[in-house]
Amino acid sequence: MSEEVLNIESLTFGYSKEALLFDDFSLCVAQGEIKAIVGPSGVGKSTLFELILGRAKPHSGTIKSASLSQVFQDPYSSFHPSYIIKDQIAEVASLEGCEVLMEKMGLNEKYLNALPHMLSGGQLQRCSILRALLMKPKLLLLDEPTSALDNLNQLDIMKLIVSNLEGMGVLLITHDTHLAQWCADETVRLG
């Protein structure tokens, strides 16, 4: 039996008591497993991540998670504009193994020495995924991680994440049901 990296039990939450986004919601993610959360905008997919990260408090229920890292949908909001990428990665993760991952992701070393605004959205998103993987989390939260990438890079990046599942579980938010069907062990539909 693989170790649980996320356990949500009987979660109840809403921005008002009359309109609950979650009512007695439960979910588990184990090491080596990918679970996808799909559903239309406004059903609480990103709010679920806010709850897992502790940025919002549930009305009731429990959320227990192992060490985690997150990849945001908008990579520009996840990097400080005034510091080069390499320094921002080094603040939170060891750079050991960085070159190997960069090669697999099609990232040039010059990207690490650039400021965020000097990179395209796709390049910066790959740097965001690189940082998240180098943090060696037990739980990786992915919020539309490939939306800034073209189809070929989307597939390559998701293959890389799938190949790095040892010791880690993934919770993926996506609007792309085909992506969820391809990579997830289980898909949870909200809304």
CATH code, domain carrying 34 = 3.40.50.300
In the chain, % of residues over pLDDT 70: 99
pLDDT of residue 57: 94
Using one digit for the tens of pLDDT, what is the confidence trace for 23-42? Answer: 999 999 999 999 999 988 88
Count of the separate structural domains present in the chain:
1
pLDDT of residue 12: 96
Q: Which residues of 128-154 are buried (b: 16+ CB within 10 A; e: fewer)?
A: bbbbbbbbbbbbbbbbbbbbbbeeebb
Task: Give the residue numbers spanning the domain of 108.
Answer: 4-189
- Give the Cα separation of 100 and 17 in Å (integer): 49
Torsion sign (Cα): 164, 168, 173, 179: positive
Burial of 101 (0-12, 13-18, 19+ CB in 10 A): middle
- Give the Cα separation of 80 and 115 in Å (integer): 9
Give which of 150, 145, 152, 143 is closest to 127, Cα–Cα. Answer: 145
Residue 155 has pLDDT above 90, yes or no: no
